[in-house]
Copies of this chain bind each other. A is one copy, B any other.
Amino acid sequence: MSAAGYELYYWPTIQGRGEFVRLALEAAGAAYVDVARSPGGMAAMMKILKGGLPGPLPFAVPFLRHGDRIVSQSAAILAYLGPLLGLAPEDEQGRSEALQIQLTLADLVTETHDTHHPISSGLYYEEQKAAAKARSAAFVSERVPKFLGWLERVLVRGGGEHLVAGQLTYVDLSAFQVLSGLFYAFPNAMARLRAQIPRLLALHDRVQASPRLKAYLTSSRRLPFNEQGIFRRYPELDLQRQERQRAQRSLRARSTPRGRSAARAAKTRASRRK
């Protein structure tokens, strides 16, 4: 490794949590080695996870090696890398705000993972499918709208273009990644939400179209989403088509005065039935 170079350590066959770090490195045009995708890299990664180097012991991947620094936990890696790559706010207050939003994105990522693994990561999806369906139903109906609605409000409050400090930061890149993953995994649920998150969609599209990211996303370095990663497309976990059509009819209905009064009447009937 060159003294100035970055080494990213992460599982070689999925985007996973490593992708949040990779996007920052790529967006900055930084030179880095994706160690576990290189010859001998998996062995080197396992050795460090087992405590083979002095300094902080990573609990899990991803971790970054930079000179004599080892940094683990995606949000901590980005808090470290952001300033070095010009992808963080300049001042302490802005950096703290970036961390706060990044941690909320990390919570959403964990909840997304748990839609297909609600019982244990040590079991196959097929062994926890019933619980996965129940968890996913709550996730797409309650959690995703709450998280994305919050991100939309944060964008609006910050001027509409960026999540923190009115400038492109690693947080915008991570929001792009989470949104891309949710579109992949839950296309029906996300189609229903589109109208409520216009600024977030625009941010996603701007990040995707930026020259360095565009080059990366169309390269072989960008692994496709797949059913070993965090964002998995299991149609049975997504909002079902009928539910989505029903939800959209109901949204359309509520958007006209006549529709609204009809919707109110239907709601009253529904609550009477209880």
- Interface, chain A (partner B; CB < 8 A): 51, 54, 56-59, 69, 71-73, 75-76, 79-80, 93, 96-97, 99-101, 103-104, 107, 110, 114, 118-120, 122-123, 128, 131, 134-135, 138-139, 142, 147, 150, 153-154, 157
Q: Is the CB of B72 within 8 A of A100?
A: yes
Q: Is the CB of A138 within 8 A of B118?
A: no
Q: Is the CB of B57 within 8 A of A76?
A: no
Closest beta carbon of chain B to A76's beta carbon, Å: 5
Q: Is the CB of B131 within 8 A of A134?
A: yes
Q: Is the CB of A123 within 8 A of B138?
A: yes
Q: Is the CB of B118 within 8 A of A157?
A: no
Q: Is the CB of B150 within 8 A of A59?
A: yes
Most chain B Cβ neighbours within 10 Å, of A100, A104, A118, A134 = A100
Q: Is the CB of A79 within 8 A of B96?
A: yes
Q: Is the CB of A100 within 8 A of B122?
A: no
Q: With A and B bound together, what is the CA distance between A97 and B20 in angstroms?
A: 19
Q: Is the CB of A138 within 8 A of B119?
A: yes
Please name the 7 residue pairs, one residue from A and one from B, whose CB atoms are nearest each other, closest first: A120-B138, A73-B103, A131-B131, A76-B100, A59-B104, A119-B134, A76-B99
Question: Chain B contacts of A110 at CB under 8 A?
Answer: 107, 110
Q: Is the CB of B153 within 8 A of A73?
A: no
Closest B residue to A128 by CB, please name it.
B134
Q: Is the CB of B119 within 8 A of A135?
A: yes
Closest beta carbon of chain B to A201's beta carbon, Å: 19
Q: Is the CB of A56 within 8 A of B100?
A: yes
Q: Is the CB of A104 within 8 A of B73?
A: yes
Question: Chain B contacts of A71 at CB under 8 A?
Answer: 96, 100
Closest beta carbon of chain B to A114's beta carbon, Å: 7
Closest beta carbon of chain B to A45's beta carbon, Å: 16
Question: Chain B contacts of A139 at CB under 8 A?
Answer: 120
Q: With A and B bound together, what is the CA distance between A80 and B79 in angstroms?
A: 13
Question: Chain B contacts of A150 at CB under 8 A?
Answer: 57, 59
Closest beta carbon of chain B to A88's beta carbon, Å: 13
> 19 A–B contact pairs at CB < 8 A?
A51-B153, A57-B150, A57-B154, A58-B100, A59-B107, A72-B100, A73-B100, A73-B103, A75-B103, A76-B103, A79-B96, A118-B131, A119-B131, A120-B138, A120-B139, A120-B142, A122-B138, A122-B142, A123-B138
Question: Chain B contacts of A131 at CB under 8 A?
Answer: 118-119, 131, 134
Closest B residue to A80 by CB, please name it.
B96
Q: With A and B bound together, what is the CA distance between A196 and B179 in angstroms?
A: 42
Closest beta carbon of chain B to A65's beta carbon, Å: 13
Q: Is the CB of B99 within 8 A of A73?
A: yes
